[in-house]
Structure 1
């Protein structure tokens, strides 16, 4: 797992460098555990990951209310005073979250996130766990 986290560094840095207004990037498991991060501090990344678990669960619940939906969350975008938050499904049981400044090109960051997920989605997975261990 240590080597895999090291490999995430350059991938996440590439995303941040491609969109300069990016503040923090977090890769997380569906149950809210931080897998990797770029920018910001680890405590903030852990809080973001935990919040994202609830947010993706809420998005799935809402998706089930849309008759044409397959019930899967693809992307959530939240605009707040001072910036944007993006959450995208990124593989089996994994998600990609990005915090960005309010001057970010919203279309560009969404597109770059999607490109990253398509390119390396197989690496952005988190197997189900039982008692903290993969099952």
Structure 2
């Protein structure tokens, strides 16, 4: 999976970090970052996913699963996208990033490998 994450990062200028994580915040793969940073981002993403799920309950639709969270900060952008069952793709990018392009490339990557990014839910600390 590393080469696909590398392809995403290198195809969009200003991309800093790419992380694939499980719904419970465990890093599954990374590119452009060290392990500690990737682990921190993965843990933060679990919190964002949980927050998005709580907000989603306010919508009357039957499918309120989080699809995409975008956070704009004074230095760049953070993107969190659902990438299969219980898996997510996270990207941290500098201010100059083309927001449309990064979104498109993330969707393309998820479409290509989404089923391989899925993780089963954990039960009692073990993978079910």
Say whether residues 1:125 and 2:118 are aligned partners. yes
Supply the distance in 2 between the matched residues of 1:69 and 1:84 (Cα, whole angstroms). 29
TM-score computed with the length of structure 2 as normaliser? 0.95
Supply the distance in 1 between the matched residues of 2:32 and 2:86 (Cα, whole angstroms). 22
1:19 corresponds, among 1, 12, 29, to: 12
Q: Gaps spanning 5+ residues in structure 1: where? A: 1-7
TM-score computed with the length of structure 1 as normaliser? 0.91
RMSD value, Cα: 1.1
Aligned residue number for residue 3 of structure 1? none
Supply the distance in 2 between the matched residues of 1:40 and 1:97 (Cα, whole angstroms). 12
Superposed structure 1 runs of 4+ greater than 3 Å apart: none
Q: Gaps spanning 5+ residues in structure 2: where? A: none
Aligned residue number for residue 100 of structure 1? 93
2:106 corresponds, among 108, 113, 135, to: 113
